Amino acid sequence: MSQRTLLIVFHSRTGGAEHMARAAQAGALQEAGVDVRLLPATQAQVGDVLAAHGYLFACPENLASMSGQMKEFFDRCYYPVLGQVAARPYACMVCAGSDGTGAARQIARIATGWRLHAVAEPLIVCTHAQSPEAIAAPKHLSCTELAACHNLGHALAAGLALGIF
Convert the pLDDT of each residue in 48-106 to its tens digit.
Answer: 999 999 999 999 999 999 999 999 999 999 999 999 999 999 999 999 999 999 999 99
For the domain that residue 117 is a member of, what is the CATH number? Answer: 3.40.50.360
Determine the structural domain holding residue 31 and report its residue range. 4-162
Across 34-55, average pLDDT:
98
3-state secondary structure of 160: helix
Across 128-134, average pLDDT:
94
Q: What angle do CA 16, 17, 21 make, to 5 degrees?
A: 120
Backbone phi, then psi, for 55, in 5-degree steps? -140, 150
Does 1 have pLDDT greater than 60? Answer: no
Express as a percent the part of the chain with pLDDT over 90: 98
- Whole-prediction pTM: 0.97
Backbone phi, then psi, for 43, in 5-degree steps? -105, -20
- How does 57-80 read in b/e, with b if 16+ C-beta sit within 10 Å? bbbbbbeeebbebbbebbeebeee
Structural domains counted in the chain: 1
